[in-house]
Chain A
């Protein structure tokens, strides 16, 4: 326990104002990501030491242009500011604005001031002032805006100490509103509003009635009043319009004397870059090349650390077995826990590489150009230009990708994006693909420089992407949802990415994956181990049964042990489960052992490899080597051929490309769409597609 005082601070600002850089400067590695209570919107918080006894708990709120939300992310900002009894209600708000867009940025600041919450104004990127020919009279501006102004450059670490000092002294801030909007729009209307909610500031009451949101912190009586005011929508719209115009008038008046721009000093890098990056021909070529480069990174560079991780965990498992005394505990560690953890850790290189690329592209401002370039095309498929980033992120993991679709304000476009994301090849499919490809596709070069295995991988990515597009077209034509399309995006300035921001972003995303998906994978590995090492009565008598069967043959001790182990697996709980589904999966070319892996991987695809590893591991204690070597050695007793031959391999690849095997994704879709209908549709639709294509492929090839 400590007696430290904690000041709650909320960071608010438009997107692209350097809010994240500032958050990183203030909190460093003392950050954590959680969810807002009851919803899955990410909440980034960090601790900042202000002096020896006082700390600030800083919450980084999603970027927003105003507190009239148009997307889920923005709703959080409003909710945080209005819910005075909430956990996240700030003692002081720090509003970050960008020197180049001061007018538009101040709009948000005036709204927050009118809520009468203590607010500090941070004008960021001051290192650009001279170059852009900007001058500000800070003292006068402070007086007019009734606030404390701190000039910073988050990237160059300028002004951070001054900001900490301002936070320390937040109690001295002036809470006077700026707008006094209510008096200037319609006095009567607003005084009625004020009478209806005596306990709130006028602006807060105005926000309560203008937003189409059910505020959970209101009581029944208050909710009734809100609904009554909302009846006259036209009036609300008109007044919101008036409010915006008024705010700009006030801002213009204030800035007239205190803010000057000498335009002759501005440079135009944006124009030149944009002409190339959004060019109708070169724009697409550049985007395609960038994508190619990203995929190259995910497959080629990531394969080295991944192979290393794979080997390390295989060796670790063997080492544990040789060091610890044989028994249930050792078996649990060596066959359940270690392969389970290995199955999670192996993804780290790929996820880290992908998110490094994505955050570099976001930081530079390029992603907005992609949205611009792709919007019209994506609309043909019922999506939006903003769907491109979620679809690309989907190549790492569907969960953050689905969450990234939140800034699509059109419901139909967002829903279609959410529904098709699981088709894009996520990194959980990679180990499955990688191992199957290496088993069935020869490691040859074609045309001298292309690798056949690499090409197959590329083809599987294209397959996933095609499936996503085709199903989007289908959904676009089938779903009858009317929703207004609001598409307004900012095209930010081009920036050199900050290494620090990228580093934190990648660490955070990777951590979220390891601890989120990791728990499920590890748990499944342990359950699998248990189901494979236990069974009904015939399992326990395995040794007697096997010896009775082969009484007269003179098998070596090792061979006998193998026989016993495989008998045991067949008669374990999981063996029975696998056998019971064998008739269903036989048309796809699978046996009961693959069936076991299939069942277990319904919760998460990557478990497939781990499950096979567990199965083949339990089966032969003496086996040395990696999962791949064990799979390659597996023989189909009916044909005498390799178990993982070409038809079976292709069938499995197709199955894993299409089937919806990820409980976490289903859960997130349920939460984001607030209905079971959509995740069930995904599960069934994708499952049927997977089953049918795998069966057809196997029977044609066999």
Chain B
């Protein structure tokens, strides 16, 4: 199943397939959010935004609008 990080449910894991470069801060790439890396959705903030993810060993919070720009393949 293909979707974006924003489509993940808490506890789901996905593998990053593609990033929309124009809308992703370079900083996020530098923190290891790169194609081929595994992303786990750890927690959603109370109003379902931002999202708390684990990627490349880092624990990060990103906003939903950024998460929507990162395509992942859901690992079942």
Contacts and interface: CB of A to CB of B under 8 A. Distances in A.
B57 A490 contact: no
B75 interface: no
Contact of B46 (A237, A248, A283): A283
Given A70-B27, A372-B50, A491 B62 contact: no
Interface stretch (A198-206, A315-323, A480-488): A480-488
Tier of interface size on chain A: 35 or more
B1 interface: no
A101 B28 CA distance: 15
Interface string B41-76: 011011111101000111111110110000000000
Nearest to B49: A376
Interface string A253-284: 00000000000000000110011001110011
B42 to A, nearest CB: 7
Given A68-B26, A104-B58, A278-B52, A373 B34 contact: no
Contacts of B57: 100-101, 103-104
Given A100-B57, A278-B52, A373-B45, A487 B26 contact: no
Give the interface centre of B34, B42, B48, B59 by most chain A CB atoms within 10 Å.
B59
A385 B64 CA distance: 14
Nearest to B35: A245
Given A104-B58, A486-B25, A274 B52 contact: yes
Contacts of B28: 488
A375 B66 CA distance: 14
B61 A372 contact: yes
A238 interface: yes
A65 interface: yes
A103 B37 CA distance: 13
Interface string B16-45: 000001100111111110110000001101
A241 interface: yes
A248 B21 contact: no
Contacts of A471: none
A65 B30 contact: yes
A66 interface: yes
A244 B52 contact: no
Interface residues of B, number: 31
Interface string A550-581: 00000000000000000000000000000000
A168 B30 CA distance: 32
A283 B56 CA distance: 27
A368 interface: yes
Nearest to A68: B26
Contacts of B22: 237
A144 to B, nearest CB: 19
Interface string A218-252: 00000000000000000001101100110010000
A491 B42 CA distance: 11
Contact of A491 (B21, B32, B49, B52): B52
Contacts of A489: 60-61
A284 B47 CA distance: 12
Contacts of B26: 66, 68, 70, 237, 240-241, 244
Contacts of A275: 43
Contacts of B43: 274-275, 278
A371 interface: yes
A565 B61 CA distance: 64
Contacts of A101: 57-58
Contact of A485 (B46, B56, B63): B63
Contacts of B46: 278-280, 283-284, 373, 376
A376 B50 CA distance: 7
A237 B24 CA distance: 11
A491 B59 contact: yes
A377 interface: yes
Nearest to A487: B63
A503 to B, nearest CB: 28
A103 B21 CA distance: 22
Contacts of B60: 488-491
Nearest to A283: B46
A486 B27 contact: yes
A600 B22 CA distance: 52
Nearest to B19: A241
A68 B27 contact: yes
B59 to A, nearest CB: 4
Nearest to A284: B46
Interface in A355-412: 368, 371-373, 375-377, 385, 409
A237 B26 CA distance: 8
A676 to B, nearest CB: 31
A107 interface: yes
Nearest to B32: A104
Nearest to A280: B46
A372 B52 CA distance: 8
A485 B64 CA distance: 11
A278 B32 contact: no
Interface string A274-303: 110011100110000000000000000000
A265 to B, nearest CB: 15
Nearest to B59: A491
Interface in A66-113: 66, 68, 70, 100-101, 103-104, 107
B61 A371 contact: yes
A146 to B, nearest CB: 21
A338 to B, nearest CB: 50
A368 B59 CA distance: 11
Contacts of B29: 241, 244-245
Nearest to A66: B30
Given A68-B27, A278-B43, A376-B45, A248 B32 contact: yes
28 contacts: A65-B31, A66-B26, A68-B30, A103-B32, A104-B31, A107-B32, A238-B21, A240-B26, A241-B26, A244-B26, A274-B42, A284-B46, A372-B50, A375-B45, A375-B49, A375-B50, A375-B61, A376-B45, A376-B49, A376-B50, A385-B50, A485-B65, A487-B62, A488-B28, A490-B31, A490-B61, A491-B52, A493-B59
Given A376-B49, A377-B47, A486-B27, 7 more contacts: A245-B34, A248-B32, A278-B45, A371-B61, A375-B63, A488-B31, A491-B60
